[in-house]
């Protein structure tokens, strides 16, 4: 199964007095480019999230959004810095002696001095946090891959339809090409005989054969037809095998375009040119679509 590079996945997990929400959004990109936005307290888990993502994707520009709602009661604790309080009192007593003044400092005043009392966040259980966060990340990734796969199947069906239409154009060109040469032979023979018949001169058949051979060499697209057929079958096989085949499909589409251009440049027949143009149009559409395949 092929996968599109565009996709969305979201999951929520609640456990251990916390609620995690993880979202994945992606668009097409030549390589895998990941941007993760998560709360500061979850920053230590970024590398682990990236490691999990590599199990689910190979290409795409992916934005990851992680949010946390913490419902635990004891999130912060008060810390009393006794050494800092002693330092304040030591210098306050020193000031009182130096200026011959009473030290009228009150406990409530001392408690308001910087760093005497500080609020410290309670140490979290990282294993517990990661257990729930990983579950949420994998849940979002599974939905993300599911969306990519559904879009990929739509792309595959559309590409297969376009390839079948291309086969029809290639078949017409293959059938029409020999007819063009035969029509040219008849045209040049009739024209020469018309010009020479008035003087009773017989046309030189060898010269006519030479002219037709030169013309046939200029308009021959046998090699292009063979390669186009091969590229169409290669692309169909690649689409049916699935997997991460976007780069390979893009390369095949480029080769198809090269053969279609050569075919069109050799054409001097209106019907054949029309089908060569249809080929190029279909190939351009295919090239646009395979850009979005992982």
**Per-domain boundaries in the chain:** 7-72+125-149, 76-121, 151-290
Q: How far apart are CA 226 and CA 228, in angstroms?
A: 6
Residue 248, pLDDT > 90, answer yes
Average pLDDT over residues 148-155: 94
pLDDT of 243: 86
User: What is the DSSP code (8-state) at residue 141?
Assistant: H
pLDDT of 89: 87
Local confidence band at 134 (pLDDT 50, 70, 90 cut-offs):
very high
Residue indicated by tokens 């030169």: 214
Please give the C-alpha separations between residue 136 and each of 33, 56, 66, 80, 142, in angstroms, as whole numbers. 21, 14, 9, 38, 10
Average pLDDT over residues 84-99: 87
Average pLDDT over residues 8-37: 93
Range 154-169 burial, b when 16+ CB lie within 10 A, else e: ebbeebeebbeebeeb
Local confidence band at 152 (pLDDT 50, 70, 90 cut-offs):
very high
Residue 251, pLDDT > 90, answer yes
- Paired residues of 19 in beta bridges: 14, 69
pTM, entire model: 0.71
Mean pLDDT of the chain: 86
pLDDT of 14: 93
Higher-pLDDT residue of 231, 196: 231
Q: Count how many Cα atoms sit within 13 Å of the Cα of residue 210 in the half-sphere of its side chain.
A: 5
Average the pLDDT over each of 1-15, 107-121, 156-170, 201-215 and give the range with the smallest value.
201-215
pLDDT of 292: 92
Choosing among 3.30.2010.30, 3.30.230.40, 2.60.15.10, 2.60.40.1120, the CATH entry for 7-72+125-149 is: 3.30.230.40
| Nearest by Cα to 114 from 132, 154, 87 | 87
Instruction: Count the helices and strands in the chain (H runs, E runs).
Output: 8, 6
Higher-pLDDT residue of 50, 89: 50
């Amino acid at each position: 199964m092929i996968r599109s590079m565009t996709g969305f996945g979201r999951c929520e997990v609640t456990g251990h007095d916390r609620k995690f929400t993880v979202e994945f959004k992606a668009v097409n990109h030549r390589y895998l480019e990941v941007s993760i936005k998560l709360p500061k307290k979850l920053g230590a888990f970024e590398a682990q999230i990236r490691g999990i993502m590599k199990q689910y994707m190979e290409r795409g520009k992916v934005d990851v959004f992680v949010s946390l709602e913490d419902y635990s009661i004891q999130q912060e604790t008060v810390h009393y810095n006794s050494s800092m309080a002693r330092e304040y009192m030591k210098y306050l007593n020193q000031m009182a002696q130096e200026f011959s003044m009473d030290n009228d400092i009150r406990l409530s005043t001392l408690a308001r001095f910087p760093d005497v009392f500080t609020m410290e966040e309670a140490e979290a259980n990282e294993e517990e946090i990661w257990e729930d966060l990983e579950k949420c990340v994998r849940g979002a990734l599974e939905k993300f891959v599911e969306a990519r796969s559904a879009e990929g199947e739509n792309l595959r069906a559309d590409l297969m339809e376009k390839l079948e239409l291309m086969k029809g154009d290639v078949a017409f060109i293959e059938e029409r090409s020999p007819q063009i040469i035969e029509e040219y032979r008849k045209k040049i023979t009739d024209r020469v005989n018309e010009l020479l018949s008035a003087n009773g001169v017989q046309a030189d058949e060898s010269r006519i054969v030479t002219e037709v051979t030169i013309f046939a060499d200029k308009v021959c697209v046998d090699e292009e037809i063979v390669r186009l057929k091969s590229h169409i079958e290669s692309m169909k096989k690649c689409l049916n095998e699935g997997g991460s085949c976007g780069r390979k499909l893009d390369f095949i589409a480029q080769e198809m375009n090269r053969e279609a251009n050569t075919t069109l440049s050799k054409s001097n027949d209106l019907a054949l040119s029309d089908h060569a143009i249809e080929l190029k149009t279909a190939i351009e559409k295919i090239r646009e679509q395979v850009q979005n395949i992982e």
